[in-house]
Chain A
Amino acid sequence: MSSQANWNSVTGIATLLFDGNLVAIAIAILFTFGVPIALHILFFQTVASPPSSNFLLLGPSGAGKTAFTTLLEAKSSLASNKSHSTHTSQQSTLVTVTLPPTVPTGSNRYRSVNDPSLKEAIRNPIKYRIKDTPGHGKLRASQGISELQTMSQSKDIKTRLRGVVFMVDTAALVDEATLRDTATYLHDVLLFLQKRAKNGSSSKRTTEVPVLVAANKQDLFTALPPGAVKQKLEAEIDRIRKSKTKGLLDASADTELEDEEEILGNDEQEAFSFKLLEHEVGVKVDVVGGAVKGDLQEEFGSGVRRWEEWVGMCL
């Protein structure tokens, strides 16, 4: 080694690097192999995670939202076959669950029957995310509706909302007060979606967010069938619509000049129905029965099968 080959001077370092020095070789090897791997990790992971589809779970307290979420979670994890019991929620949670491979997805209609990716689905189940929100009256505005707002308006494809599941306790709906409460909440949700659809259409076409009214607790004896639930909710929403138009203004109405209050379903003359809403605004509402607890068949969690099918159709 020459006397110049030391780490003290610039020329010395340069000489060392071009020498057959072991350190230099090691650094070079590390660099050549390391950089592609690092780049791969960096870019591949961001791209590879597919745009996850989000669903928002709304509904009054005690309808079974958290129970539904935990059931889905338990179903998608192979380990446990039992979902936890639940209490009133105070916070919303976002969980990732998988769709059972037997449930067809909405995108299947673009595929051939022999599409190999269909078989792939069994090995590679589709994942989606569901957000459970608290249904208590005090927390609705801050965590339910505002969540709907942020999720539906976000430009980011990762957090975009694919559908809203509105959970209803069909056994409690006989009670006048519960019905009123449930319908009010549903009215607010639908009104928001209607506003969104209207604003969206002017600038650029936004995808509509479909709503599933999940008529829960069908296993109970006192439960109303989904058809009756639909009828009751429609009638009650119609009543809300009417009284909303006549009600008092908010205190904030004086300060900010807002255009007139919107009416759900636009057409005031006609009685409200979910069909009207779809026709007028394009917000699709389905009422599907199911049961989180008390499985209809022996299979675990079969009571929510039809809701999962609905979720599948949205994907």
Chain B
Amino acid sequence: MLEAFEILTTSGVVLWSKAYAPVGAHVINSLINDVFIEEKVVPQNATAGGVSPAYKKEKYTLKWKRVKEFDLIFVAVYQSLLHLGWIDKLLENISTIFIDLYKDQVKGNRVRIQTYRFDQYFEQQVRELEDNTGGFVEEHVPETGEKKDPLVSSDNGGPPPPPVPGLVKAQPRAALAGATSDEGTPPATPEISRSSTPQGHLLTAKAGPGGRGSRRSRKAANSSANASSGDEVRKGKSAKTPVKKMRRWDASGMADEDDGEILDYSAPTEQGETAAPAVEAVSEDDWGRRTGKGQFVLKELGEEVQSILDQADAEKSKGTASSGVVGSGFNAIGGFFRNIVGGKVLTESDLEKPLKAMEDHLLKKNVAREAAVRLCEGVKREMIGKKTGNFQSTDAALHVAMESSLRKILTPTSSLDLLREINAVVAPTTKQQAPRPYVMSIVGVNGVGKSTNLSKICYFLLQNKYRVLIAACDTFRSGAVEQLRVHADRLKELSVRENAGDVEIYQKGYGKDAANVAKDAVDYAAANKFDVVLIDTAGRRHNDQRLMSSLEKFAKFANPDKIFMVGEALVGTDSVMQARNFNQAFGTGRNLDGFIISKCDTVGDMVGTLVSMVHATGIPIVFLGVGQHYGDLRGLSVPWAVSLLMK
């Protein structure tokens, strides 16, 4: 069952919502955060026709449809356990109806104050679609459809006669009352009429009073076989099986009077409306007057909704048809001028070429193909249907859009202030936390500059007067410990000269288990009142499962506050896989905390690796290595990176 449905604007206001069960606001908020803003979750089949993308959060699955033109998002929430096939259709229909009904309001500036009386329309759609996909119903669709016409005519034959006492007795009073009030809601559309017959007990109950009405009218038409039909109805009411049986019978033989009546009983009003609206109108009116105003309104509603949907369909088909040969020549010329003057509504074909050029440009900047394609796709999705500004060419518009999406992808969700975090751990403000050393570890592929960047960070920390312990956990490659020792000695020398912090190296030689060494180092640091522990690890190939698997144990043992991965700016397409594999290597619940992109000085403006790495994982870039000296460590400046990439 559907849990909730919401219609919201991109500015965050819920225009209309319907909740069948309480769903926390955080569910939809996380959808917005993860999918729309951070783009962490890339919708798989977003472009596939008719299928809305899905997003899973907690026990819910969310499907959404975004209408760019009006800045609206339609979200349906349902339990992941259920497979509701009709959600896509529902989103499609609801968005069409809503936009058609409230086109002017949504465009205007009073969008947010407006109250949208949309409940009826929604209820109608849900019921209709729910019924429509009721499993076994589908098979019988043609048969019931055939049957309809004769039934209807008999149905609307004349004024309803007084109810037969036996019939009324058959239906329990309570059920009847409940049904009449409900009755208002299932309005008549062809789909519902065709299939609603054997839905669950719920539906049968709802159809109850309708059945009564129809029976009456039918009786007026031919007053024979009254008693028998009454009996049939009673049976149908009490259990589902008789109804089913009746239907089968119906299919095999040709419309027996009795059979028709029974079918008629299950969903009479709906059938009447759709099949013969002209005749129906009279009886419906009649009926509506009896049961109350609601019914009458509902009938209109069903038709209205249907007409809206039909119209939309027609427009769609027209749209595809008209893009033929006739207008193409004129369009081409007009498009050419508009391209210069601006004010052109962009279509997919307009964007194809410039986007290809843009993609090539990004590839030249060393952005991995995967990331480039994704960026271009995102820009395309954003741009289609948009109007270019005055005197703005398509290329210029694209340029702006690409810049903003690059900026968006590179901007971290929360900026990292390393010093403040260290302070928070080393000297906590609250009493509950005991001070402990802040642990950072660095991982990466062989030869990307792990030890170098570690020393750079160390130098930076030393300047801020921290006591730093370097743990040499590369117990594998010969010379690794010695290399680190050289760094440590240099740094010690420097720190003494500059009157900065204090540095020491912790090493256990080669051949030991890195995770254990790291753990010991952290313990040692805690005992000796070090502020920060920097753990160097062995370089490993990201696609070597044997080496990568030891990282999980390492993360568990050393439990670092931050795990940074060093990536070369030189690496091209491989950066995506590197980032992804390292990000997954630490087991569930533990990810990388940031990237350090080394050797940025060697690539000039081809800093595409930045984008590729962030694209692959959604993890921000923390530092850039820009030279050979200890001081050549920089924070990421997004405008700088974007300007280099777009140059």
Contact = CB atoms under 8 A, between A and B. Distances in A.
B420 interface: yes
Contact of B638 (A136, A141, A244): A141
Interface string B20-39: 00000100110011001110
A176 B10 contact: no
B404 A142 contact: yes
A32 interface: no
A88 B36 CA distance: 10
A264 B228 CA distance: 91
Contacts of A91: 10-11, 71
Contacts of B71: 91
B640 A251 contact: yes
B277 interface: no
Contact of A248 (B32, B38, B115, B633): B633
B401 interface: no
Given A74-B113, A142-B407, A176-B424, A89 B11 contact: yes
User: Which of B8, B38, B408, B463: most chain A CB closer than 10 A?
Assistant: B8
A246 B464 contact: yes
Contacts of B114: 80
Given A84-B112, A87-B25, A137-B414, A239 B423 contact: yes
A246 B501 CA distance: 14
User: Which of B418, B429, B463: most chain A CB closer than 10 A?
Assistant: B429
User: Which of A87, A92, A142, A176: most chain B CB closer than 10 A?
Assistant: A87
A30 interface: no
A141 B641 CA distance: 15
B53 interface: no
User: Which of A80, A85, A89, A251: most chain B CB closer than 10 A?
Assistant: A251
B415 A255 contact: no
A180 B415 CA distance: 10
Contacts of A142: 404, 407-408, 411
Contacts of B17: 85
Contacts of A80: 113-115
A181 B416 CA distance: 10
Interface string B420-463: 10011000011000000000000000000000000000001001
A90 B12 contact: yes
B420 A239 contact: yes
A91 B408 CA distance: 13
B624 interface: yes
Contacts of A184: 415, 417
B15 interface: yes
Nearest to A60: B414
B12 A134 contact: yes
A66 B600 contact: no
B545 interface: no
B419 interface: yes
A180 B402 CA distance: 31
User: Which of B109, B114, B417: most chain A CB closer than 10 A?
Assistant: B417
Nearest to B413: A137
Contacts of A240: 417, 420
Nearest to A232: B429
B110 interface: yes
Contacts of A137: 411-415
A70 B408 contact: no
Nearest to B25: A87
Interface in A157-183: 176, 180-181
Interface residues of A, number: 49
User: Which of B8, B12, B633: most chain A CB closer than 10 A?
Assistant: B12
Given A87-B25, A87-B32, A252-B639, A243 B407 contact: no
Given A88-B37, A138-B411, A251 B637 contact: yes
A115 interface: no
B626 interface: yes
A132 B29 CA distance: 17
Contact of B635 (A74, A88, A95, A249): A249
A247 interface: yes
Main secondary structure of the interface of B (DSSP, over half): mixed
Nearest to B407: A142
A137 B418 CA distance: 17
A246 B635 CA distance: 12
B14 A87 contact: yes
Nearest to B633: A248
B640 A252 contact: yes
Given A138-B408, A243-B423, A251-B641, A87 B113 contact: no
Interface string B103-127: 0000001101111000000000000
Nearest to B32: A88
A87 B28 contact: yes
Contacts of B248: none
Nearest to B28: A87
Interface in A111-131: none
B634 A249 contact: yes
A248 B623 CA distance: 9
B41 to A, nearest CB: 14
B636 interface: yes
A79 interface: yes
B175 interface: no
Interface string B611-647: 0000000000001101000000111111111000000
Interface in B121-159: none
User: Which of B113, B413, B633, B635: most chain A CB closer than 10 A?
Assistant: B113
Given A77-B113, A88-B32, A138-B413, A255 B640 contact: yes
A73 B11 contact: no
Given A136-B33, A142-B408, A255-B640, A250 B423 contact: no
B496 interface: no
Given A132-B11, A246-B419, A73 B113 contact: yes
Given A90-B32, A141-B638, A73 B623 contact: no
A88 B33 contact: yes
Contact of B112 (A70, A244, A247): A70
A153 interface: no
Contacts of B110: 77
A138 B418 CA distance: 19
B12 A252 contact: no
B164 interface: no
User: Which of B6, B11, B109, B415: most chain A CB closer than 10 A?
Assistant: B11
Nearest to B11: A93
A154 B647 CA distance: 28
B32 A70 contact: no
B414 A181 contact: yes
Given A88-B37, A180-B420, 20 more contacts: A66-B11, A69-B112, A85-B17, A85-B25, A87-B8, A90-B10, A90-B12, A90-B32, A96-B109, A137-B411, A137-B412, A137-B415, A138-B412, A139-B408, A142-B404, A243-B420, A248-B634, A250-B634, A250-B636, A251-B637
10 contacts: A73-B112, A87-B29, A88-B32, A132-B12, A136-B33, A137-B413, A184-B415, A247-B417, A252-B637, A252-B639
Interface of B: 6, 8, 10-15, 17, 25, 28-29, 32-33, 36-38, 71, 109-110, 112-115, 404, 407-408, 411-415, 417-420, 423-424, 429-430, 460, 463-464, 600, 623-624, 626, 633-641
Interface of A: 61-62, 66, 69-70, 73-74, 77, 79-80, 82, 84-93, 95-96, 132, 134, 136-139, 141-142, 176, 180-181, 184, 239-240, 243-244, 246-255
